Amino acid sequence: MFRKVARVFALAVVLVAGASVPSRAQDQKGTLVFAVESLSAQTLDPILEGRPGNAVYQAVMYDSLVGFDLEKGGIGPGVAERWELSADGLTWTFFIRPGQTFHNGDKLTAHDVKFSLERQMGPGSLASAAASMRRTIKNIEVVDDLTVKVQTTSPQIGLPAGLSRAVAPEGAIMPKAYIERVGEEEFRKKPIGSGPWKFVRNVPGDRIEFTAVTTPHWRGRPHFKDLHLLLVPEESTRVAMVRTGEAAIASIGPETMLGASRAGLEVLSVPGTMQAVFQFWGTYKPEVKDSPIAKARVRQALSLAIDRKQVIEHVMNGRARMPYPFATFGYTDYFSADRWEKWAAEAYRYDPVLAKKILAEEGYPNGFELKFANTALPGTQFMVDIGTAIADMWTKVGVKVTIKHYEWGSFAPMERGDQAGLIGWASMYRTAGRPDAPWRYDGAFSPESIQRLLGDKENCQEICQDFVKTSRALGSELDKTKRTALTDHMVELTANSWTVIPILEGMGYYAINTKKVGQFAPITGRHELGDVFERIPRPEQKPWKK
């Protein structure tokens, strides 16, 4: 009962306050309601939330040091207007955009940037890149109110990307003075940031409410007065809420997409948000030496046996596209996208006849036994459907597939340690849409990485060594054309290893009630809408075509 009374009281206060607040510009009215599948940790302190949560609801009230390139995707100007790398590649200098203020009126200065980065690396931080930042960042120096220098232990080409939401959440700028004045506990109850929306209320497991900033903001002035993010775990309920108008936008998957569009809802897809892949574990291990998947050509045959167009057409309802090579997208930095798009179109074509021929040549005329772990990472439940579809396609070329279904929490631990449960298996996997390919390649192929798909410390044959050499070179290469050449080489050797094989380039999908919101464009590669809410117009401002 107390909750209801509190809500009514809060409403009353807001109304009264609303009336007395300086007259809100006439064009900010109405409430934008967004139904989302998960609010993950649902905490407003940037150092306690992972990437998805930050991108969905923290991005709304916190700006990132580096922003987005809205046309092409990838990184662009943010809190810092521009940034440059010193000649020796060891110092990044960020030039802060003037005139930025926090929600309580404090000015945003270089001190806040230094404080924020150090807090992300601090002991209490759960930021996933905290350890890497501690290792790579030597010192952060405030030159003046609008300039900050970041010295690194070794050349870090990807540092700016790492501080933009295009890649990671660790770039969120927090109010130094406010936090030092009220302390972390109070900051977590009443957080303030510099973003286009101000925090109103957080109801655990239920909703988070924001209200628009009235002063102009470099990311754009919100068209709505309030923003409510509602936690609705069941997809069909989310679609129902959009259809009844209780919500304006809802995150959906391919499953309810047909129903939504037939019901007259607009289905928006955000391109280049993820790649669904399948990969082979420990193909180089001695105990797997004579099994079929140890042979690259057999792995290639399995790729040829997959009709990607059918999967895109029927499992994803046409809302996906042919993939680039592993973990690369149209917007990947230092990467010849056109060349690789043509390569991928040919390499990842559907050629079951050739697949059978290769299998016969490799000594498996009537197929072989393939163990396949089907799972789905959080947020992309449709991976299970893709896995089911491709497994069936393999059976069509004579491969006897035994599928074992894993809930993600049970699958993840098997990657660590000796990967006993995975060696000799194929499995579904995913890579998120990110402009910096090398970071993801290291995570998958380096002998020290967790996945160690090309080789580990004991047996790192020729491809593995070549990869290590290229990756180390990329780490310190500053020249753009050389970087592109190195990246292309890295992509080529790993693609020809056929250890990780992309199936399709997936998209983020949203059902939209066109009577509630106007037409808007998402940021390419950015699945979550945290950085888009302020640019969503009201229906009368920019009606959907039709």
Partner 1 sequence: MGSKARVRRTARVPWIPIAIISVIVIMALFAPLLAPYSPIDQTLRDKLLPPAWMTGGSDKYFLGTDAFGRDILSRLIYGARVSLMVAVLALTVGGGVGLAVGIVAGYVGGAVDSVLMRLVDAAFTFPAILFALLLSVTMGQGLGTLVIAITLLLWASFARVIRGEVLSLRQRDFVALARVRGCSAPRIMLTHILPNVLNTFMVLVTLNIGVVIIAEATLSFLGAGIPPPTPTWGLMISEGRGRIADAWWVALIPGIAITLMVLSVNLFGDWLRDRLDPRLRQL
Partner 2 sequence: MKRYIARRLMQGAVLLCMVATIVFFLGRLTGNPVDLMLPEDATAEDRAALTQTLGLDGPILDQFAIFVGKAIHGDLGTSIRMKQPAVDAFFDRLPNTLVLIPWAILLGMLLGIPLGVVAALHRGGLLDRAAGTVAVLGVAMPSFWLGILLIFVFSVELGWLPSGRMGGPAHYVLPVITLGTFLVAGFMRITRSAMLEVMESEFVKLARIKGLSEAVVIWKHCLRNALIPVLTLWGVFVGNLITGAIVTETVFAWPGIGRLTYEAVIYRDFPLLQAVIILKSILILSINLAVDILYAYVDPRIRLA
Q: Which stretch binds partner 2 (CB under 8 A): 179-187, 239-247, 292-300, 472-480?
A: 239-247
Provide DSSP, 92-110: EEEEEPTT-B-TTSPBP-H
Based on the shown chain and the rule CB under 8 A, indicate whether residue 132 belongs to the binding site for partner 2: yes
Q: Which is nearer to partner 2, 241 or 344 (CB)?
A: 241
Based on the shown chain and the rule CB under 8 A, indicate whether residue 448 belongs to the binding site for partner 2: yes
Q: Which stretch binds partner 2 (CB under 8 A): 12-20, 178-186, 218-226, 237-245?
A: 237-245
User: In 3D, which of 346, 406, 344, 396 has the Cα closest to residue 370?
Assistant: 396
Q: Which is nearer to partner 2, 128 or 310 (CB)?
A: 128
Binding test (CB under 8 A) with partner 2, winner from 93, 100, 388, 449 = 449
Length of the chain: 546
Q: Which is nearer to partner 2, 440 or 516 (CB)?
A: 440
How do 426-432 and 80-85 pair as beta strands?
Answer: unpaired
Minimum separation from the CB atom of position 90 to partner 2 (A): 21
Based on the shown chain and the rule CB under 8 A, indicate whether residue 408 belongs to the binding site for partner 2: yes
User: In 3D, which of 263, 298, 267 has the Cα closest to residue 283?
Assistant: 298
Q: Which stretch binds partner 1 (CB under 8 A): 183-191, 405-413, 489-497, 535-543?
A: 405-413
369 contact partners, CB below 8 Å, separation of at least 6 = 400, 402
Based on the shown chain and the rule CB under 8 A, indicate whether residue 311 belongs to the binding site for partner 1: yes
Q: In whole angstroms, what is the distance from residue 191 CA to residue 418 CA?
A: 43
Based on the shown chain and the rule CB under 8 A, indicate whether residue 530 belongs to the binding site for partner 1: no
Based on the shown chain and the rule CB under 8 A, indicate whether residue 458 belongs to the binding site for partner 2: no
Token code pair at residue 536: 């969503």
Q: In whole angstroms, what is the distance from residue 392 CA to residue 395 CA?
A: 5
* 179-218 b/e (C-beta count within 10 Å ≥ 16 → b): beebeeeebeeebbbbbbbbbeebeeeebbbbbbbbeebe
Based on the shown chain and the rule CB under 8 A, indicate whether residue 289 belongs to the binding site for partner 2: no
Q: Which does 130 bind (CB under 5 to 8 A by kind): partner 2, partner 1, none?
A: partner 2
Binding test (CB under 8 A) with partner 2, winner from 14, 85, 90, 130 = 130
Q: Which stretch binds partner 1 (CB under 8 A): 133-141, 278-286, 354-362, 389-397?
A: 389-397
- x/- mask, partner 1, residues 351-380, rule CB under 8 A, reads -----------------------x------
The phi and psi torsions of 173 (rounded to 5 degrees) equal -95, 125
Minimum separation from the CB atom of position 464 to partner 1 (A): 31
Task: State the CB neighbour count (10 A cutoff) for residue 290.
Answer: 8
Based on the shown chain and the rule CB under 8 A, indicate whether residue 267 belongs to the binding site for partner 2: no
How many residues bind partner 1, per CB under 8 A? 30
Q: Which is nearer to partner 2, 160 or 196 (CB)?
A: 160
Task: State the CB neighbour count (10 A cutoff) for residue 475.
Answer: 15
- x/- mask, partner 2, residues 375-404, rule CB under 8 A, reads --xx--------------------------
9 contact partners, CB below 8 Å, separation of at least 6 = none
Binding test (CB under 8 A) with partner 1, winner from 22, 105, 123, 409 = 409
Q: Which stretch binds partner 1 (CB under 8 A): 202-210, 340-348, 356-364, 403-411?
A: 403-411
| Helix and strand element counts for the chain (H, E) | 17, 16
Strand order across the 147-152 sheet: 80-85, 91-96, 147-152, 137-144
Based on the shown chain and the rule CB under 8 A, indicate whether residue 279 belongs to the binding site for partner 2: no
Q: In whole angstroms, what is the distance from residue 450 CA to residue 440 CA?
A: 12
Residues that bind partner 1 (CB under 8 A): 235-236, 239, 253, 255-256, 258-260, 262-263, 310-311, 313-315, 374, 384-385, 388-389, 391-392, 403-407, 409-410
